[in-house]
């Protein structure tokens, strides 16, 4: 994998000293080193065609949108989001409405195309993560295939007894894990026949080359301690989905080789610590805090010094924005690409969390969130922006190094140092900033090779000028 290195201009004797002897870091600490590209709404063929760029941009994993058979909405139109009167119709979220659990759908591609994408990923040493959603079916549940109804013992057995009642009390765990969310009927994930059928799908994804999963609406799938639905004998879905328990003659394939995390959006009475026994989780509250700080152009506008989560940071997937914050209420869509990029560099430079980069639609602007408005096409070029690539490579190079975060008094410039090996400097303001911050780097003049900017370290301080909404990587 291609990596960029930034060499400080210091005396030759010091450089020779730093390179001699055993290269192992005797003071190494635990770090999370991987980064994920969320290739949102890219087709399997599009992901495969761009795999070289994905690998060279420093991503260890690429996350696909759901691969399951899905509801065909608006005559199969492939608009990301159409309005009345548009020539091309469609909605991105139809692939979140399963009608069967088989690989392939009209929006992203066939099983053969999925496998070819995974083969391409393997060639470039990139892991494929698939967005999976066993929790519900399409709103129009009559579209569910007859084959699926048959294997679960009839259509009524596909759903919880409470599965057609809207959730009204979101902090009530019985309603949350058995009720209907947004018109999506709630699947009886405790039905052994469904579990057996669903695990065949998961293992087929793995056989095709998938090496991880993102569980959509994970907090709506019951844990062992949660109340039982009338149709359930025990809440054992997570034991089966993570390979702790077999269902019939099927066990999760390759459980030790998979990266699995869940969309456990934070709220009151969400059992983050129990979910952490099974899967990593999304750091939704931290993403919200980070957006607050970025939008205020001030680190101190929210509390970024802790992770806003009950679970340790090494079990969290972090983001500046997700497809939901961009698409649903457009909470993050008004943020400029440059501002999002600054947040990404901050997350990627840090010691913990596994950062996920959401790929915005190609051609999108702050006035036109949908851009070219086509499912299947590649997103914009931000995923391989030089600053993003440099941050990804910095994360890999800083493996085993503890973080130190320093911030200017006005909250505009953030420095994420890793041990005494490197530092990421991020100006989140709209103005150029002259700054001086504490530093563990050796005295000398350092050059950032993205922008060829120079910074000086002397007497434990690093100083220089940071351009507006610009980041610098030095190591």
Active site residues: 216, 263
Secondary structure E strands in 42-178: 61-64, 68-70, 98-103, 127-132
Q: Distance of CA 312 to CAs 154, 309, 346, 354, 416, Å? A: 42, 7, 18, 12, 19
Separation of alpha carbons 179 and 455, rounded Å: 56
Separation of alpha carbons 463 and 445, rounded Å: 10
Separation of alpha carbons 370 and 83, rounded Å: 11
Angle at 84 between CA 78 and CA 87, to 5 degrees: 50
Report the chain's terminal Cα–Cα distance, integer Å.
18
| 215 in Cβ contact with 133 (< 8 Å) | yes
Separation of alpha carbons 272 and 315, rounded Å: 11
Separation of alpha carbons 101 and 121, rounded Å: 23
Q: Which residues contact 304 (CB under 8 A, 6 or more apart)?
A: 286, 289, 290, 293
DSSP 269-330: T--HHHHTTT-EEE-HHHHHHHHHHHHHT-GGGS--SS-SSSS-GGGEEE-S--HHHHHTS-
Question: What one-character DSSP code corresponds to residue 148?
Answer: H
Per DSSP, the three-state class of 382 is helix
| 360 in Cβ contact with 371 (< 8 Å) | yes
Tokens of 164: 């057609």
Question: What is the 3 state secondary structure string of 57-86?
Answer: CCCCEEEECCCEEECCCHHHCCCCECCCCC
Tell me the pairing of strands 470-474 and 422-427: antiparallel
Separation of alpha carbons 437 and 296, rounded Å: 21
Q: Which residues contact 322 (CB under 8 A, 6 or more apart)?
A: 38, 282, 284, 287, 332, 356, 358
Separation of alpha carbons 71 and 89, rounded Å: 14
């Amino acid at each position: 994998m291609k990596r960029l290195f930034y060499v400080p201009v210091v005396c030759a004797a010091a450089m020779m000293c730093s390179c001699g002897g055993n290269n192992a870091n005797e003071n190494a600490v635990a770090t999370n080193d991987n980064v994920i590209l969320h290739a949102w709404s890219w087709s399997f063929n599009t992901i495969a065609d761009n795999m070289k760029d994905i690998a060279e941009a420093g991503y260890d994993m690429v996350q696909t949108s759901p691969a399951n058979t899905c509801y065909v909405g608006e005559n199969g139109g492939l608009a990301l989001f159409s309005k009345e009167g548009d020539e091309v119709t469609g909605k991105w979220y139809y692939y979140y409405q399963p009608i069967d659990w088989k690989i392939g759908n009209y929006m992203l591609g066939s099983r053969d195309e999925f496998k070819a994408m995974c083969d391409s990923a393997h060639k470039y040493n990139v892991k494929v993560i698939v967005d999976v959603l066993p929790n519900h079916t399409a709103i129009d549940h009559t579209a569910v295939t007859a084959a699926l109804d048959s294997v679960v013992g009839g259509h009524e057995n596909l759903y919880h007894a409470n599965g057609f009642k809207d959730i009204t009390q979101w902090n009530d765990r019985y309603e949350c894990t058995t009720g209907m969310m947004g018109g999506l009927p709630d699947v009886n994930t405790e039905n052994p026949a469904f579990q057996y059928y669903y695990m065949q799908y998961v293992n087929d994804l793995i056989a095709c080359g998938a090496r991880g999963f993102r569980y959509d609406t994970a907090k709506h799938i019951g844990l062992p301690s949660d109340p039982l639905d009338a149709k359930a004998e025990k809440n054992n879905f997570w034991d089966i989905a993570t390979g702790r328990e077999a269902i019939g003659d099927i066990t999760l394939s390759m459980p030790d080789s998979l990266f699995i995390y869940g969309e456990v959006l934070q709220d009151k009475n969400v059992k983050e610590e129990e979910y952490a026994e099974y899967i990593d989780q999304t750091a939704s509250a931290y993403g919200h805090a980070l957006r607050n700080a970025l939008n205020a152009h001030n680190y101190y506008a929210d509390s970024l010094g802790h992770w806003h989560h009950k679970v340790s940071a090494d079990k969290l997937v972090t983001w500046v924005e997700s497809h939901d914050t961009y698409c649903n209420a457009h909470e993050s869509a008004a943020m400029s690409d440059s501002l999002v990029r600054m947040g990404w560099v901050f997350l990627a430079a840090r010691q913990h969390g596994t950062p996920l980069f959401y790929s915005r639609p190609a051609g999108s602007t702050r006035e036109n969130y949908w851009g070219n408005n086509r499912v299947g096409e590649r997103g914009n070029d931000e995923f391989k922006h030089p600053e993003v690539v440099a941050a990804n490579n910095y994360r890999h190079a800083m493996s085993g190094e503890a973080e130190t975060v320093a911030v200017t008094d006005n909250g505009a410039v953030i420095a994420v140092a890793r041990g005494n090996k490197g530092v990421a400097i991020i100006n989140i303001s709209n103005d150029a900033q002259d700054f001086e911050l504490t530093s563990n780097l050796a005295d000398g003049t350092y050059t950032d090779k993205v922008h060829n900017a120079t910074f000086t370290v002397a007497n434990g301080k690093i100083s220089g000028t940071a351009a507006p909404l610009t980041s610098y990587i030095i190591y």
